[in-house]
Each structure stands twice: as C-alpha cells, then as structure tokens.
Amino acid sequence: MRHDIKLAEPILDVETLPLEVAVVVPTLNEAANVERLVESLSVVLAGRGWEVIFVDDNSSDGTSDLVRRIGRGSRHVRIVQRVGRRGLSSAVIEGILATAAPVIAVMDGDLQHSEDALPRLVDAIETGGAEVAIGTRYVEGGGTGDWDAGRVRMSRLATRAGQMALGTDVSDPMSGFFAIRRDAFERALPRLSAIGFKILIDILASSPTALKVAEIPYHFRSREAGESKIGARVIAEYAELIADKTIGRFVPIRLIKFLIVGGLGVFVHLAVLRTMLGLGDAFITAQTAAVVVAIAFNFFLNNSFTYADRKLKGWRMLGGLASFYAISALGAVANIGIGTWMAGHDERWWVAGVAGVLVGAIWNFAMSSVLTWRK
C-alpha cells in the first residue's frame, strides 16, 4: 500500500531549536492514522523544539515501515519498533526512556486525543509549575464525545476505582493523554508496574511524593480508522494494576494469581476424582488421574493468566509442562513432609495441614517462576 507523505513545513528547522518536548505515541496497527497525526503535531508544536516517538509493537499493517519513511524526510519523527513485546504501559516507558526531552507528552495513535490541547498540557508544565498535566474528559470544558451511556458508566466506575486506589481527587486518572516532567517520571520509574494500558495511574501511584497536577479539559474524539483495543483483557489488566498498587505492596500479585489458579485446581481435582470413583475405578487410579489432570489444568491456566507476560508457546509448552509436573511433585513431597513433621509435634491437625499446603504452594510458585516461566 503506497502512502503519499505530505507534511506541513515546520516554521523553524528542528536543528535550530533545543529539544523541548517529545510526544510518545504507542501504536499497534495504526498506519491509517500516522500521517495525519504527524501533520497535526507539526502544526500545534510549530515554533518549539519537538519530536514524536512512535513505539510500535511490530504492527502487521506496516506502521513501523511507514513511520521510517516519514522519518527519512523529517527529523521530528522517530520509531521504536518492539518485537516479542506488547503492552501500552511498557511501550510508553520505553518511548520516554528513548528521548532526552525534559517534557514528555503521551497520546494515543488513533486521533481520539485532541492535539489542540497539547500545547496547553506542555505549557502547564513549562510555565505553570505542574509536574504532570492531564488531559481530562471529566471537568468543565471536557467531554467523552459520542460514547453511549453504558461506556460512560463503565468509565466512571473504573475512574472511581482508580481514585480510591490512589486516594486522590484527580478527575481522570485513567487518561491516556498527559504530559509529564522527566524528573517526575524518573522518580516514579523504579516502582512502576508497567501492567496493562493505564500508565498514568501507574505513575501517579508509584511516585514516592505526591505530584503537582494540572488538569486540562479536552473533548475525546471518535475513532476514524483502525480498531479499538478495548476488551476483556484491558479490563482485567486494569483490575490487576489497581490490585498491584494496593495489596501488591504487601503480597506479590503474581503469587495471588498463582494461588487463585491453585484453588481452582482443587475443584478440578475433586471433580475428576468424583467422576472416576462414580465410574467404578479404584481410589488409587482415580486419585492419580485427578492429580495428573489438575496439574495440567494449573499449568495451562497459569501460562495464560499468571504468567501471561512470559507465556510459553509451541514446543516450549511441552518442556514447561514437564518441568511443572516435576516441580509440583516435589511440592507435594514438601507439603506432606512439613505437615507430618508439624503434626508429630502435637500441632493441631488443621494447622499442620495448612502449613503443608502453604509450603508446597510457595515452593511451586518460586520454582515455577525460576524454571518453568523464567524470564
């Protein structure tokens, strides 16, 4: 597909101005929007030292190639192409780390964020004293465009959850349209979860000190090209991010997910055991089959849920399943050994049982993270 690139001429050459602001745009199959976005940025940021960094998750529609072609004719335009990695939050982080600009703006590549508000976001930081300036849909002068009532309610609910998790009255902590001072980002960086699509709330919750926030109203526009990325995965990752910023301070969220899967595995174990006993199989046969099936169930669910960021595919799944069986077998030995030892010291039976389960579960989690789903 041929793209004829016609960009607005910058008022001043990029080399004559010090770099003032970088616009980070995470993309996945947004080729249809790239040229218009660059044209719009060249207008609203004219007279400033600026660059736009597209962070593309190896789009199948040629987004990266298109940005490179544009970049050969304009030094304002750069590309970071990621292969084997996906996720908006991590893409934004990599984009920010790839620029030297003292102020970084973040916006989507779908043209739904109004570039007209971008200069106001930057000015709120450069001259207004804010550390982060948020484009908000939920104050006077802002709006959600043509969203239906159901989507507005869902967004409001998610926004309220974010406000409660942060303990803040920021009107739009889920906004994907904001600007931030580099030093403010760098203070939050070591604590970022980089989970899902809502990087702003991650930054606000991860900053060791409260950030000075400015809120700039804007109207959310309708998507004209490409496909929306909103779905069940986005909602699940947002819930995980909220959990990580609250209870995750005390217990690793991955461990909680691992234990949830283990709990579901108990029901699978019991269901298989009951079914086989009902068919007349001996207990040892039924119990063995139940263990084998439950471990396989735990492996596949953990692979897609607990370790989705390290998901095993293809032939690697066979090796992972084998290692998970071995780890689980040793975990069962640890479970029995600890429980028996504690029961022999006159501990109450249920205390010994719970201790055995916890030791086995922690062993399984630790070794699975190191061996089965190692980075």
343 and 324 housed in the same domain: yes
What's the angle, vertex CA 159, arms to CA 155 and CA 162, rounded to 5? 145
Q: Which domain CATH number covers 244?
A: 3.90.550.10
Per-residue pLDDT at 193: 79
286: alpha, beta or left? (left if phi > 0; alpha if psi -120 to 50): alpha
Is residue 90, in this structure, part of any structural domain at all?
yes
Is residue 41, in this structure, part of any structural domain at all?
yes
Is residue 129, in this structure, part of any structural domain at all?
yes
Is residue 8, in this structure, part of any structural domain at all?
no
172 and 202 housed in the same domain: yes
**b/e map of 303-323 (b: 16 or more CB within 10 Å)?**
bebbbbeeebeeeeeeebbeb
Report the chain (375 residues): mean pLDDT per 10 consecutive residues: 48 66 93 92 93 93 93 92 85 94 92 89 93 87 67 71 70 87 94 79 87 89 57 62 68 84 85 84 80 89 86 90 89 69 65 68 87 84
175 and 292 housed in the same domain: no
**In degrees rounded to 5, what are phi and psi of residue 102?**
-75, -20
Per-residue pLDDT at 323: 92
DSSP string computed for 87-135: -HHHHHHHHHHT---SEEEE--SSS-S-GGGHHHHHHHHHTT--SEEEE
Is residue 1, in this structure, part of any structural domain at all?
no
204 and 263 housed in the same domain: no
- Type of residue at 172: D
267 and 195 housed in the same domain: no
What's the angle, vertex CA 302, arms to CA 173 and CA 298, rounded to 5? 145
266 and 240 housed in the same domain: no
Is residue 9, in this structure, part of any structural domain at all?
no
126 and 98 housed in the same domain: yes
Is residue 52, in this structure, part of any structural domain at all?
yes
220 and 282 housed in the same domain: no
The tokens for 51 are 């660059």
Per-residue pLDDT at 12: 43
Domain C-terminal end among 225, 249, 273: 249
Q: How many domains does the chain have?
A: 2
Give the span between the Cα atoms of 238 and 244, in whole angstroms: 10
Q: What's the burial of 49, exposed, middle or buried (CB within 10 Å: 0-12/13-18/19+)?
A: middle
Is residue 6, in this structure, part of any structural domain at all?
no
Beta carbons within 8 Å of 313's beta carbon, 6+ residues apart:
none
31 and 158 housed in the same domain: yes
Residue 322's domain comprises: 253-372
Per-residue pLDDT at 13: 47
Beta carbons within 8 Å of 134's beta carbon, 6+ residues apart:
121, 170, 171, 172, 173, 175, 177, 178, 200, 213, 214, 215, 216
**b/e map of 265-295 (b: 16 or more CB within 10 Å)?**
beebbeebbeebeeeeeeeeebbebbbebbb
Q: How far is CA 278 from CA 205, 220, 265, 343, in A?
A: 52, 59, 20, 32
217 and 268 housed in the same domain: no
